[in-house]
């Protein structure tokens, strides 16, 4: 006869039981959910979100879209579309190229060097001035939306694609300057430190130690900015900064909706082509 200590306890099934304990939620998660719900309600009240208004607006949108078909495929419209697409492409490309050229020295100055840790106060001060100046300039360039830059340049230079290209270049310089500097700061420091230990100057260590490691990412970011510029260039036409957006605005004002359909369709096709080309090229560079 088994003693009470050696008696086996009835086995407990490990199968989850329905109606078991609910998963525990931490107070941080609960607080985050409450904050998100509160911000959602506050923002909805602020913008006057109304689902009934949204549903009632479906009929006018359907009528507008139906009036766009069939698209206008006449020779004059196709020629106007082709001219607008080419102009938009040129604005986006040149804006990204000039932006990248301006952004690179700003990023080089705005890259924090780990080797300055432990350096003398005078050396740290000498490096801090250009660092903060470059960071401030890139923040100013990218904080102002490209459409506002376009308005400034249109007022200064008049209507046309040139002000639009300048607006894209300035905004791209700000965006790329920040992204380049963050990419340059994220590369491994060992090659840079090794060059410093062999007596290389700061410029030499940057060119031969930091740049080669970041070059693929820098090129990828430049291509992505080119994609963004292509979409932005369409919007800039609405303030008179050239491109296919200006043709869309004029056609909208004349209620020529079939022509609008042709222009919008051509824009979508070009954006998709550039997006796929750029994505494939970036994938090859990164991998």
CB 178 within 8 A of CB 163: no
pTM of the predicted structure, to 2 decimals: 0.77
Distance CA 4, CA 15 (A): 28
**What pLDDT is stored for residue 148 in this prediction?**
92
Instruction: Report pLDDT digits (tens) over 79-104.
Output: 999 998 999 989 999 999 999 999 99
How much is the average pLDDT of 230-253?
86
If you average pLDDT over every residue of the chain, what do you get? 84
Asked if 142 and 240 touch (Cβ cutoff 8 Å), the reply is no
Give the pLDDT score at 283.
77
Q: Which residues contact 135 (CB under 8 A, 6 or more apart)?
A: 110, 181
Q: Using only C-alpha atoms, what is the Rg of the chain?
A: 29
For helices 257-286 and 211-236, what crossing angle results, to 10°?
A: 180
**pLDDT greater than 90 at residue 170:** yes
Q: What is the pLDDT of residue 3?
A: 47
pLDDT tens by residue, 92-138: 999 999 999 999 999 988 887 765 656 667 777 777 888 889 999 99
Residue 52 has a pLDDT of: 83
């Amino acid at each position: 006869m088994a003693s009470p200590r050696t008696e086996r306890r009835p086995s407990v099934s490990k199968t989850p039981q329905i109606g078991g304990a609910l998963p525990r939620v931490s107070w941080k998660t609960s607080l985050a959910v409450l904050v998100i719900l509160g911000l959602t309600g506050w923002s909805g009240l602020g913008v006057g979100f109304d689902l009934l208004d949204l549903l009632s607006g479906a009929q006018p949108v359907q009528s507008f879209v139906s009036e766009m078909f069939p698209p206008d495929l006449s020779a004059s419209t196709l020629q106007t579309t082709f001219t607008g697409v080419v102009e938009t492409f040129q604005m986006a490309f040149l804006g990204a190229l000039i932006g990248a050229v301006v952004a690179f020295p700003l990023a080089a100055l705005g890259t924090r060097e780990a080797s300055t840790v432990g350096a003398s106060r005078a050396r740290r001060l000498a490096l801090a001035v250009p660092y903060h100046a470059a960071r401030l300039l890139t923040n100013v360039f990218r904080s102002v939306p490209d459409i506002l830059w376009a308005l400034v340049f249109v007022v200064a230079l008049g209507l046309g694609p040139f002000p639009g290209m300048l607006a894209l270049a300035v905004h791209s310089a700000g965006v790329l300057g920040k992204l380049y500097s963050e990419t340059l700061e994220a590369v491994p420091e060992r090659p840079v430190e090794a060059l410093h230990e062999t007596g290389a100057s700061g410029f030499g260590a940057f060119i031969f130690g930091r740049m080669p490691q970041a070059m693929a990412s820098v090129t990828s970011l430049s291509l992505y900015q080119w994609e963004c510029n292509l979409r932005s260039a369409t919007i800039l036409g609405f303030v008179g900064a050239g491109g296919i957006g200006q043709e869309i605005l004029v056609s909208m004002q004349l209620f020529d909706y079939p022509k609008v359909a042709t222009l919008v369709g051509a824009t979508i096709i070009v954006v998709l082509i550039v997006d796929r080309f750029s994505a494939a090229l970036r994938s090859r560079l990164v991998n």
